[in-house]
């Protein structure tokens, strides 16, 4: 099941993975290469191990993605990086991704469906371009959270309170 917040999760994951992604020829992070195929399988297997049985049945379906309490720290390699574990930077990036976006003072922005975002990114291998974020402190206001090094920039038209009126540059 998809929620209105799934797009937020997609982009937030990409933003966090930008920190560990190798750079492409133009010097921009290549988020698709932040995790190998084996790493993505490790993440999905970890998610399923942590949350698949929460509905009383281990069937490959996480019925309550919002209630899933997956901790990527359990996937950290004990020694050198190997196929069935993640490096410390990968774990840190995923841990931040699962914690969700925060404002400049470290306060949590509204919740969203992070699990669906990660599953979509892993299975679709298409990283999102931005996250539509809202916060309790500014009801009715939304802004895109952009992958580093870009930032939200007003397009010059549209509602200044709506993320759709901004683009990542």
25-30 long-range contacts (CB < 8 A, ≥24 apart) are 29/147, 29/148
Name the β-bridge partners of 102. 108
Tens of pLDDT, residues 100-159: 666 666 666 664 545 555 666 667 776 666 667 776 666 777 877 777 677 788 899 999
Report yes or no on whether pTM surpasses 0.75.
Answer: no
Q: Are 89 and 75 in contact (CB under 8 A)?
A: no
CB atoms within 10 A of CB 49: 13
Name the residue among 40, 41, 44, 46 with its Cα closest to residue 17. Answer: 40
In this structure, the chain runs to a length of 169
Confidence class of residue 72 from pLDDT cuts 50, 70 and 90? very high
Tens of pLDDT, residues 1-11: 344 444 555 66
**What is the rounded distance in angstroms from the CA atom of residue 62 to the CA atom of residue 49?**
10
Confidence class of residue 39 from pLDDT cuts 50, 70 and 90? very high
């Amino acid at each position: 099941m998809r929620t209105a917040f799934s797009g937020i999760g997609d982009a937030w994951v990409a933003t966090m993975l930008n920190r560990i992604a190798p750079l492409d020829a133009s010097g921009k992070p290549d988020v698709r290469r932040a995790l190998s195929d084996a790493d993505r399988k490790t993440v999905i297997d970890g998610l399923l191990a942590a949350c698949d049985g929460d509905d009383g049945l281990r069937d490959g379906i996480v019925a309550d993605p919002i209630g899933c309490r997956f901790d990527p720290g359990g996937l950290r390699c004990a020694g050198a990086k190997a196929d069935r574990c993640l490096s410390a930077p990968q774990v840190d990036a995923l841990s931040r991704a699962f914690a969700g976006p925060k404002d400049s003072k470290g306060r949590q922005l509204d919740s969203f469906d992070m699990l669906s975002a990660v599953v979509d990114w892993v299975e679709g291998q298409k990283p999102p371009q931005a996250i539509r974020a809202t916060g309790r402190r500014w009801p009715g206001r939304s802004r895109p959270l952009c992958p580093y090094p870009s930032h939200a920039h007003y397009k010059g038209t549209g509602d200044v309170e709506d993320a759709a009126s901004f683009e990542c540059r």
